[in-house]
Amino acid sequence: MRLLLARHGETDYNRQWRYQGRTDLELSQVGQRQAERLRRRLSRESIDVIYTSNLKRAAETAGTIARGRDLRVVPRENLAEIDFGRFEGLTYAEIVKSYPDWDSSDYNFTAYGGESLEQLSQRIRAFAKELRSDNPTDTDILIIAHSGSLRVLLCVLLGIDIENWRRFRLAPASLTVVEDVEQEPVLTLLNDISHLKTK
C-alpha cells in the first residue's frame, strides 16, 4: 500500500497565521491555485481512491484533484484538524496576550475547550486501522487533510512517538509519500512543494 499525503491549499487564516483547527473556511484564491497545481502534479500518479477530511478546505482540494478522473472521494471526519477550542481564529501573539499562563508546548487543549493531542492521535490511529482493513495491499491512496492530522498520521505510520509531531513541516498543498505501509513503512517524499514553484 502506498499513501500520498497532501495538505489542503491555503486559506485566509493560513496566510494570517491564525489557529484554524475546526474553523471551516474555504480555500483562498491562492489556495485554489495551489490545489490546481497539486492536481497537475498528481496527474502523473496512480491513485485508486481519495480520503479527505470533511472540512471545506480539504474537501475543496480533493474535488479539484478528482476533477477529470474517475476517482472515489471518501470524506472522513476523523481526518479533521485538531480542535483548538478558544484559540480558534487567534494568532500566537493574541493567544499569549489572552492566556499568559499558556505553555505553547502543551497540546492539552481540553482546558481551553478544544481537543488534546492524545484525542487527535486516537482519531488518527482509528483511521490508519480502517485504511489497512478496507483496502487491498496494492492500493495507491491519496489522503487530503491538515497539518496536524497528517503529522500525527506520519508518526503513527512510522512508529514515532506522537510527541514528535512538530518535527515534521507540511506546507499548504504539499505532497508527502509513504510506501510499503503494510510491511515496514518507508517515508520516500516529505513536504514536496516543487509543483507550486512552476509557472
Residues 6 or more apart in contact with residue 162 via CB below 8 angstroms:
117, 118, 121, 152, 155, 156
Identify the active-site residue in 8, 18, 37, 76.
8
Residues 6 or more apart in contact with residue 3 via CB below 8 angstroms:
131, 141, 142, 143, 157, 177, 178, 179, 181
Identify the active-site residue in 7, 37, 39, 146.
146
Q: Please say if 195 is a catalytic residue.
A: no
Q: Please say if 8 is a catalytic residue.
A: yes
What Cα–Cα distance (Å) separates residue 101 from each residue in 98, 105, 111, 113? 9, 12, 12, 16
Which strand (E) or helix (H) includes residue 35? Answer: helix 29-42
Give the catalytic positions in this structure: 8, 146
